[in-house]
Structure 1
Amino acid sequence: MSNSLTRQRFWNKKFLGVLCYSSAACILVLCGKVELSSAQSQVQVKTNRYLQVEQIQGNVFFRNQNTNRPARKGDRLTNIGDEIVTSGQSTAVLSVDTGVGFVNVAEQTTVRINSLQISNDNGRITNLLVPRGIVRLRIRRFTNPSSRFDIQTPAVITGVRGTEYVVNVKNDGRTVLATLDGAVNTSAQNIDVLVNKGFQNQTIVGEPPSQPVPIQDNTDIDYQVIKLFENGERQVILVGNVDFANTVSIDGVAQNVDRDGQFRAVLTTNSIYRAEIQVIVTSPSGKQRTYDLVIY
């Protein structure tokens, strides 16, 4: 009888030990699942999202690692590296798959997919790269707090949750932003600057964003002509000043406008007596003014 009780106590202890071990293991597994679930909620997963070409005017190209062809209405940019490129006097309109808005692509502009994602709480996250040129965006307000729409340039990242604004990326990467409605956050060098409706700012590569100033929408130009004669050859130099946010083209060629709005162009002329040039000044809102200059 004593031996039987001893054996029973032994098996009871062993069963309790196994039960405790199993319970602890289950608790650890459950905890692990909770932690994993929490981490996963922060993960952004790639889905079948896209930007679609809605309108084309002039010479517009669809490009990626395997493709370089004229763009067609209905083309979709779906993968990282897919891009739309416009030539001179050419434009395109892209729609966002979620119906959140449109990207108007100006001439001589590149728009490339950096990422198109959906977070686990169904937020839409769109990140586009604009290495050069001008885009005008109309993005409605998001209902999901995790949704974002970012434009990245060589100088700055702009982020919105619903607004209308213009991003102008100069040849040297300097980026001018003008907010037409809502507010846009500009971020560079770990500094954020908010640009509200009716204001504009600029960001130089390697510098933080400037403080916003009111949009001037002023297409006036101050200029002077410098004429030089060297070794029997005539050289004409046009030095001008415009609002820093404006773009300037001379006879269809975009000019480099510095942070202070100054530009300098060496003009080509076959006549030593008379030269005719056309200067077009364009503001961020799209307002243009044409100057037909005759230089003697």
Structure 2
Amino acid sequence: MKLHPARTYRLLALVLTGILLVALPLLAKDLQLPSSRFVEVRQIRGTVTYQGRQAKVGDRLTTSGQQIATGANSSAVLAVDTAIATINVSENSIVQVKNLSLAAKGGRVTVLGVPKGQARIQARTLKNPNSRLEISSPSGVAGVRGTVFGVAVDPKGKTGISTLEGAVAITAKGQTVRINGGYSSVVFPGSPPTLPRLTKDKLKYKLESLSAIGNNKIRLICIVDPLNLAFLNNRPLEINQKGKIDAILPAPANSDLRLVVRSPLGDEKYYNLGAKLRESGVNSQ
């Protein structure tokens, strides 16, 4: 039987459509076609920058290298697509995209960096074995599959990690440590993670010395828990492995001197050192 040309074309079109419907999903998987992966800004307070401008609610980070940065007395809340995680970013912090991609069988790979500052992450359980969520710092990488935890990164890359719920696996220098809920670990640059220890409310500090050293400078020596971050008048302070801070800073105007100690989970405590500054005889500018 001879087919009419019009019917032949329709038949060929149907066959080609069927082939495309079967082949395109396979091609998309193999070729890793662009996805709709993103990290979205949900809340902002104060000075929060995105791509060199003030961020706004609804901004999306989609490619490697894009970042959100918070200024002094500022904060942001971010959300990873499909409700993978919510990230609370504190002041003077940066969160950046390292990798947002699709994996085999519907998996999603999410790698975010915190090069400085503090962030608290609430991540849902990842049921797909091909999915993973990682938070990196200059000192290590934390792997997550459903937990609430926080990271705190100081100017030299020292990283404190505290887990509130679930568990986090932190890897540095080829060694991995599992941090269960209620425990913490510290990673110093060039060193493996410390053994997990019970998280305690250690936002206290011990003042050893506060003195004038000339040229309108002051020197602060104190001890804090090395797990935490410390700021003096919004300036991040370096903390050594024993928790010691030895900082030289400009003498503040009006003897206004505020020390902030902040934990990886975002808890913080303020100390007014103005009275101690006046007692030491340091002249204000």
Query: What TM-score, normalized by structure 2, do the two folds share?
Result: 0.80
Instruction: Measure the CA separation in 2 of the matches of 1:229 and 1:200.
Output: 37
Q: Does 1:83 align with 2:67?
A: yes
Aligned pairs for 1:17-166 within 5 A: 47-63=35-51, 68-166=52-150
Task: Write the letter of the residue equivalent to 1:283.
Answer: S
Structure 1 stretch displaced more, 96-105 or 193-202: 96-105
Instruction: Measure the CA separation in 2 of the matches of 1:281 and 1:183.
Output: 24
Match of 1:257 in 2: 239
Classify the secondary structure of the residue corresponding to 2:231: strand
Q: CA offsets per residue over residues 121-159 of structure 1, 9 Å max, x none?
A: 111110012111111100011111111100111110100
Cα deviation for residue 277 of structure 1 reads 2.1
Match of 1:292 in 2: 272
CA RMSD of aligned residues (A): 2.4
Cα deviation for residue 208 of structure 1 reads 1.4
Q: CA offsets per residue over residues 238-279 of structure 1, 9 Å max, x none?
A: 2100111122222222211222211012243389xx945222
Q: Does 1:282 align with 2:268?
A: no
Cα deviation for residue 44 of structure 1 reads 6.8
Query: What TM-score, normalized by structure 1, do the two folds share?
Result: 0.78
Instruction: Measure the CA separation in 2 of the matches of 1:149 and 1:42.
Output: 22
Q: Report sequence identity in percent.
A: 32
Cα deviation for residue 236 of structure 1 reads 3.6
Task: Write the letter of the residue equivalent to 1:202.
Answer: V
Count of residue pairs brought into register by the alignment: 250
Q: Label 1:218 to 1:47 Cα distance change in 2 as closer, same or farther (>3 A).
A: same
Gaps in structure 2 of 5+ consecutive residues = 1-25, 280-285
Gaps in structure 1 of 5+ consecutive residues = 1-36
Mapped contact 1:95–1:101 kept (Cα < 8 A): yes
Instruction: Measure the CA separation in 2 of the matches of 1:247 and 1:291.
Output: 14
Q: CA offsets per residue over residues 214-259 of structure 1, 9 Å max, x none?
A: 11221111112253566xx675422100111122222222211222
Cα deviation for residue 281 of structure 1 reads 1.8
Instruction: Measure the CA separation in 1 of the matches of 2:252 and 2:266.
Output: 33
Give every structure 1 segment of 4 or more consecutive aligned residues whose post-TM-superposition deviation is greater than 6 Å.
Answer: 40-45
Instruction: Measure the CA separation in 1 of the matches of 2:148 and 2:31.
Output: 29
- Work out which structure has the larger RCO, using CA pairs closer than 8 Å and 6 or more positions apart in sequence: 2
Mapped contact 1:42–1:119 kept (Cα < 8 A): no
Mapped contact 1:46–1:116 kept (Cα < 8 A): no
Cα deviation for residue 287 of structure 1 reads 2.7
Q: Label 1:108 to 1:226 Cα distance change in 2 as closer, same or farther (>3 A).
A: closer
Cα deviation for residue 78 of structure 1 reads 0.7
Instruction: Measure the CA separation in 2 of the matches of 1:264 and 1:291.
Output: 17
Q: Does 1:245 align with 2:227?
A: yes
